[in-house]
Amino acid sequence: MENIPANNEEMDLLEKARGRDPGALAELYTRYYPKVLKFIHYRIGAQEAEDLTGEVFLKLMRSIDRQVGRFEPWLFRMARNTIIDRVRYRKVRPEDSLEQTEQEFSDGGNAPSSGARLDVEQALSLVGEEYRELLVLRFIQGMSAAEIGEITGQS
């Protein structure tokens, strides 16, 4: 498994971010916020997704100097751990959150532009949490098997 960033531009950006460069940190936020938000949304629902995504980026700023290996799997592992912590803290089953999201959609709040998002959410609610996470990372985030392995600690 390769432990280097994807390219020199990303390496430079990460080096600047480790030095607490505000522009570099803002660029990481701009690049990765939508991906992390989508990942969290599909894992626990829309209601908490923005708050948890914000927590992930606060953790990123506090711990960027300890980041080793490829950045994106490290970031998604941090997001995954943040979700796990929240679920443990609230003792909320992820399935309940998906049902709540479906209820929000049926009430007209945050309605998707098409039925596709609701179909995906309904399909994801039918599989177990372990498989849901893998499906979201692979088919919604578009990650490779190697990246998913880095995030989940599985091979």
Mean pLDDT for 98-103 is 53
Tens of pLDDT along 68-95?
888 999 999 999 999 998 888 776 455 5
d(CA 136, CA 25): 26
Given a cut of 70, is residue 54 above it in pLDDT?
Answer: yes
Q: According to the model, what pLDDT value does residue 111 have?
A: 44
- Averaged over 48-59, what is the pLDDT? 93
Nearest 5°: CA angle at 138, between 137 and 140?
Answer: 70
pLDDT of residue 3: 45
- Pick the range with the lowest mean pLDDT from 34-38, 88-92, 96-100: 96-100
- Crossing angle for the helix pair 22-44 and 94-106, to the nearest 10 degrees: 90
CATH of the domain spanning 8-152? 1.10.1740.10
Q: Quick check: 29 and 78 in contact, CB under 8 A? A: no
Mean pLDDT of the chain: 79
Is the predicted pLDDT of residue 132 greater than 50, yes or no? yes
Rounded CA gap, 31 and 25, in Å? 10
What are the pLDDT digits (tens) for 3-34? Answer: 444 688 889 999 999 999 999 999 999 999 99
Confidence at residue 82, expressed as pLDDT on a 0 to 100 scale = 94
Band the pLDDT of 142: cuts 50, 70, 90.
confident
The Cα 133–Cα 127 span in angstroms is 10
